[in-house]
Amino acid sequence: MRRTSLFVISTFLFVLCAGKAWSADTGITKHSIKSSIYGVDRNFFVKLPTTYKEGSKHTYPVIYLLDGDAYVQHFFNVSDALSGGGLTPEFILVGVEHKQRIRDLTPTGIESHPGTGGADKFLQFIEQELIPRIDKGYQTNGFQILAGHSFGGLFTLHAMQAKPDLFNAYFAFSPSLYWDKQTTVKSVKALLTSKTQYHNFLYMNMGNEGLDDPYDNSIAMRDGYMDLVTFIEHNAPEKFRFVSKHMEEEYHASTVVIGTFYALRSLYRKYPLPTAIVKQGLTAINQHYQELSEEVGIKINPTLGRLSNAGMYHMWSNGDLSKGIEILNYLVNLNPSSDRVHDGLAQIYKADGQLDKALSHCEMSVRYSGSESANYQTYKAHCKEIRQQAQGSD
């Protein structure tokens, strides 16, 4: 059996994938921390959500990405598409740069690779220096995800067992579980065995490692993955959500590409608002978000756009207008200066024949939009239609 090291291959794949991701064109900004832990500057990259407005009250979950200079843009592309479709929230993305990648990401040192085993120090840097910097400088909501591929996946699992409550979710793509005789497999098992309840989430995947080109490390990597999956499936603590995908048709380099989608969708599986719930009305919608919040582990409220669409659905679908009115009145109490919500109430009151209320909300939509708004003339036209209808009914 050939002895080619997965250590070499994974390093090569990372170098192949890593380019200069940060630039003004991508909106990825590069920053540095003068680290007292390392005694040198440590670089990191930030990509903000599409809707991010500094100074607003809206806050966001954060995804911390290992090998971040390679993966920030990819994670943004996937998460932006998902959030745009109402399938996940938006995220602040923080990518960490590694000058000595294998040192940072390996939990133990081994003689054949001098200088390895720096994972605990790197985790200390993330906890004590990087996270406080991000929380201070950006509008975060306290929900944190750690994601890594290959050695980054190994570090992700190590971080989970070393600091079980530092992150709310962990994504480990093709983790290099062969490292040091599968020591991380053993430590993760020990963590889960010690807990009767652990409110957290783990997504883990593997490709055709150990199958396409079998050698000692890749076989041990696959075996460690299979062993850990079987253990977790039979011994998961209460409230610990675990999703694994063994994609034997995929390669080591592609598991992070495909896995990003599956990890985010699995974590936020209940995030979409089903039409069946919308049809039931406001009480069912609030119950849906309560269950979502309990599962994910942080309070999640429906966005203005989602609730607005839920209310208008009852008009668009010739449904129960009273349910739509109830939803939009609930929403306008939360957002009294939203021109969009007032216009929605104007339209649905008009459809219900309550023209006085329709005109009142329509005039507020004009007032709150302002003459420079793209919707200003549209709102004025809506008001004109309501007045004409009211005059015709007199």
- 3-state secondary structure (DSSP) of residue 202: strand
Assigned fold of 275-393: 1.25.40
Q: Would the pLDDT of 66 be above 80?
A: yes
pLDDT, tens only, 141-179:
999 999 999 999 999 999 999 999 999 999 999 999 999
pLDDT, tens only, 191-231:
999 999 999 999 999 999 999 878 899 999 999 999 999 99
Rounded distance between C-alpha atoms, residue 382 and residue 210, angstroms: 64
Residue 21 has, within 13 A of its CA and on its CB side, a CA count of 26
First to last CA, the chain: 91
Ordered alpha helix ranges (H), 317-375: 321-334, 339-351, 355-369
Rounded distance between C-alpha atoms, residue 98 and residue 71, angstroms: 13
Provide CB contacts within 8 A for 310, sequence distance 6+: 273, 278, 285, 302, 327
What residue has token string 């200088």?
Answer: 115
- What is the per-residue pLDDT for 11? 42
Query: How wide is the angle at C-alpha 46 spanned by C-alphas 45 and 47, nearest 5°?
Result: 130
Rounded distance between C-alpha atoms, residue 303 and residue 77, angstroms: 21
Domain with CATH 3.40.50.1820 in the chain: 6-267
Average pLDDT over residues 62-75: 96
pLDDT, tens only, 79-114:
999 999 999 999 999 999 999 999 999 999 999 999
Provide CB contacts within 8 A for 76, sequence distance 6+: 47, 93
pTM: 0.90
What residue has token string 């929605």?
Answer: 344
Average pLDDT over residues 297-302: 95
- What is the per-residue pLDDT for 212? 85
Average pLDDT over residues 307-326: 96
Domain with CATH 1.25.40.10 in the chain: 275-393
pLDDT, tens only, 335-386:
999 999 999 999 999 999 999 999 999 999 999 999 999 999 999 999 999 9
Buried b (16+ CB within 10 A) or exposed e, 270-309: bbbbeeebbeebbeebeebbeebeebbbeebebbeebbbb
Q: What percent of the chain has pLDDT over 70?
A: 93
CATH number, span 6-267: 3.40.50.1820
Burial (CB < 10 A; 0-12, 13-18, 19+), residue 394, is: exposed
Contact 316, 344 (CB under 8 A): no
Provide CB contacts within 8 A for 159, sequence distance 6+: 119, 123, 126, 146, 166, 167, 170
Rounded distance between C-alpha atoms, residue 279 and residue 267, angstroms: 25
What residue has token string 């000692």?
Answer: 216
